[in-house]
Structure 1
Amino acid sequence: MDVEFSEEQQEIRRALRDALDKQSDSPAVRAAMVTEHGFDPKVWRRLCGQTGLAGLGIPEEYGGVGLTFAEVVIALEEMGRTLFPSPFLASSVMAASAVLHSGDEAACAEILPGIAEGTTLATLALAEPGSRDVSEVSLTATATPSGEHRLDGVKTHVLDGVAADLVLVAARLDGQVALFAVAGDAAGLTRTQLPVLDQTRHQARLDFDNTPARLLGTPGADTAAVLERVRQLTEIAVAAESVGGAARCLDMTVEYSKIRVQFGRAIGSFQALKHRCADMYVQLETSRSALYYAAWAATEAEAAGLDVDPDAPGAGELPVMAPLAMTTATAAYRAIAEETIQLHGGVGFTWEHDAHLYLKRATTSALLFGDRTHQRERIAALAGI
């Protein structure tokens, strides 16, 4: 196993960091997060045009850059570092992965080029009230005599659900899990913005009432496997964002400790603060190690396809490593963000300082797939404990 990044990958990181430092500084983030959709479409299109951001993990045959999931993780780390408000997670990770793995070549050729350009904003609607697991999908799909399909039910906590031009929906068709594509302006679809703690990532409730939908792939075990793979990739994506955000919090704290003077000396010279910063660093590096191992496992699994040998090195570990990396990273992120606020003293508690934005992202990221108890039970079950 080699989890070292190549010079080309490091160059991708440097280029993205430079672009995001210019386009996603604190004033830009704060301005974007209070808009209707929670991000600046002009900035999103500009970055997509300059860096190919939206299509990093999409194959070249569908208009993407054709890189591996490792490069996607690098991009997510850098976006997490600046809290970049964008539809990348929903569109370029969740939705693109669902379409790509669906096995529906026509849908891939039709949908993925727009996602890769950043002109089509897509999302995946999986969670339902009281449930976020693939096995518990209950929204119903019905086939009409003409061969069309209609959806009825509710999806909730859909990332960028109001802004999306295209919604991919997990539903039950004749008792089997199936994947459908629904236009954002489809008849019978009602989209409601949800109040959220983290304003840099908008979520929505989607109500389907006899809503027309297009079936992707084949219903059944294959679609359930596709959605499980998408969930695993999303968990790693959230871990990457969390590592990037936690690293930024630590950097802010160390920098502040060098310039804040108390009792005639920089507070960073006090042993108690040194110990707390050291603890933050250990938590960060632990979560980063888990992330990179999971990213390597995902890259191996993507090369192997959905039918992965559970005993295969790396690839077979993905089902366990993905949620483990996410829970490790989000827990570390929240702890580090809380320490960042504490060690900044009074200024850390103010609206004007960015520390609270990172804490809010850390808190909500940890709950995207259910509470910690549920996540730990899932990891234990997957590990056979």
Structure 2
Amino acid sequence: MSTQPDLLYTEEEEALRAAVRDLLDDHCDAAGVIARAESGTPHDLSLWKALADGMGLAGLLVPEERGGQGATHREAAVVLEELGRAVAPVPYLSSAVVATEALLAFPHSRLRSSGGTPIADDLLGRLASGRTIGVLAVGLHLAPGGAFTSVRLENGRLHGELTGIADAAVADVLLVPADDGGLYAVDADAVTVTPQVSLDLTRPVATVGLDGAPGRLLGPAEPAVRRALHAGAGLLASEQFGVADWALTETVRYLKERKQFNRPVGGFQALKHRLAQLWLEVVNLRAAARAAADALATGEDTDVTVAVAQAYAAPVAVRATEEALQLHGGIGMTWEHPVHLYLKRAKADSIALGTAGAHRAALAELVDLRAP
């Protein structure tokens, strides 16, 4: 019998939030993120080290016996909320969630390295420590049920090209699906990574070329990719909530300070109505995101809950950031103000791991409400 999802934050989760927010306040200011985006190398690896190594957050989803923290998707969701609020340019979703979940699909792998350690366990330990950044080499746009691209396996070597791979530029290892049905671990120095034009400057994508790259077989690709994308889509909603919540909070703050005709702009009734409607949508997004995280943590009703969260999250995050840009007036249109980073993240997230339409279609199938 299924239980009601717990949408409230525990004391431990609130403490985790406070610790992550303090770290981001100190090391991830808006001006620094904008400067990194301008430089063409947006990833902040010193911040990643502080999150992964200093706080142990890269291993939240990894069981203790496999080298991680043994936490749940609820804690990972709290981290993603805060990373969304800061549009932090770190590969947390790619490595600590998606790649990690793919490796967790091999709990009893008998495929071992030359040292006798199961290959998946070895990689999990390295990802959990933060010393290694892992990326699942499927396009960022791919929905959990979508068909993914496989490269060619020939004489034990991998050949082909994969596009739209998020955070490939900083990956140490890529998890690559091949046409024999296997998932292979490939060292980043054995592939060619070519940056692609990316709307979201804080989460760049790239093309990965393999020309005879050696790989270590982890196990069957299909269940691992499905698990990874499913968890990634569910937790992406928490990042989208963080983005939307920042947009609402900062817009309210700005409208209280900005004056027109010698009175705060936020006192105008038309703007109050817009903000009230946006607040309702953001609160509902928080509930949907929390439900998805709780479902992933408990394993109950995950398909429906994740589909609901993603069907709702994308349009709300996009609308919240669009409203933030408009209601900030002229300053909101400038490069110096960070609101454009949030709008671009919301837009990019709206097609990441499946569009809202794709998730609505999946939900219709799940609850037997198909279109006539």
TM-score (norm 1): 0.87
1:194 corresponds to: 196
RCO (CA 8 Å, sep 6+): is it higher in 1 or 2?
Answer: 2
Distance 1:352 1:60, change over 3 A: same
After TM superposition, give the deviation of residue 52 of structure 1 in Å: 1.2
Note if 1:238 corresponds to 2:222: no
1:336 corresponds to: 320
After TM superposition, give the deviation of residue 142 of structure 1 in Å: 2.9
- 1:1-385 correspondence to structure 2 within 5 Å: 1=4, 2-35=6-39, 37-103=41-107, 104=109, 106-127=118-139, 136-142=147-153, 144=155, 149-173=156-180, 177-186=181-190, 189-217=191-219, 219=220, 223-301=221-299, 315=300, 317-385=301-369
Comparing 227-236 with 25-34, which one deviates more in the overlay?
A: 25-34
SS of residue in 2 equivalent to 1:287: helix
Identity %: 36
After TM superposition, give the deviation of residue 117 of structure 1 in Å: 1.7
After TM superposition, give the deviation of residue 200 of structure 1 in Å: 0.5
Segments of structure 2 that go 5 or more residues without pairing to the other structure are 111-117
Deviations 1:202-255 (A, max 9, x none): 1111122332211112x3xxx423321211111122111110011011110100
After TM superposition, give the deviation of residue 178 of structure 1 in Å: 2.3
Deviations 1:83-117 (A, max 9, x none): 11101111111111111112326123311222112
After TM superposition, give the deviation of residue 12 of structure 1 in Å: 0.7
Report how many aligned residue pairs link the two structures.
Answer: 357
Distance 1:135 1:341, change over 3 A: closer
SS of residue in 1 equivalent to 2:215: strand
Aligned Cα root-mean-square deviation (Å): 2.0
Distance 1:134 1:336, change over 3 A: closer
Q: Is the CA contact (8 Å cut-off) linking 1:139 and 1:152 kept in structure 2?
A: no
Amino acid aligned to 1:330? A
Q: Is the CA contact (8 Å cut-off) linking 2:135 and 2:167 kept in structure 1?
A: yes
Deviations 1:146-167 (A, max 9, x none): xxx3222221111111211100
Q: Is the CA contact (8 Å cut-off) linking 1:258 and 1:266 kept in structure 2?
A: yes
SS of residue in 2 equivalent to 1:39: coil
Segments of structure 1 that go 5 or more residues without pairing to the other structure are 302-314
After TM superposition, give the deviation of residue 194 of structure 1 in Å: 0.8
Q: Distance in 1 between matches of 2:94 and 2:37?
A: 16
Q: Is the CA contact (8 Å cut-off) linking 2:94 and 2:136 kept in structure 1?
A: yes
Distance 1:29 1:294, change over 3 A: same
Q: Distance in 2 between matches of 1:135 and 1:207?
A: 21
Distance 1:194 1:240, change over 3 A: same
Q: Distance in 1 between matches of 2:167 and 2:121?
A: 23
After TM superposition, give the deviation of residue 131 of structure 1 in Å: 6.5
Q: Distance in 2 between matches of 1:118 and 1:4?
A: 29
Deviations 1:332-367 (A, max 9, x none): 010010011111111111111111111000000011
SS of residue in 1 equivalent to 2:177: strand
1:310 corresponds to: none
Q: Distance in 2 between matches of 1:131 and 1:78?
A: 24
TM-score (norm 2): 0.90
Q: Distance in 1 between matches of 2:82 and 2:213?
A: 38
Q: Distance in 2 between matches of 1:17 and 1:142?
A: 44
Q: Is the CA contact (8 Å cut-off) linking 2:138 and 2:149 kept in structure 1?
A: no
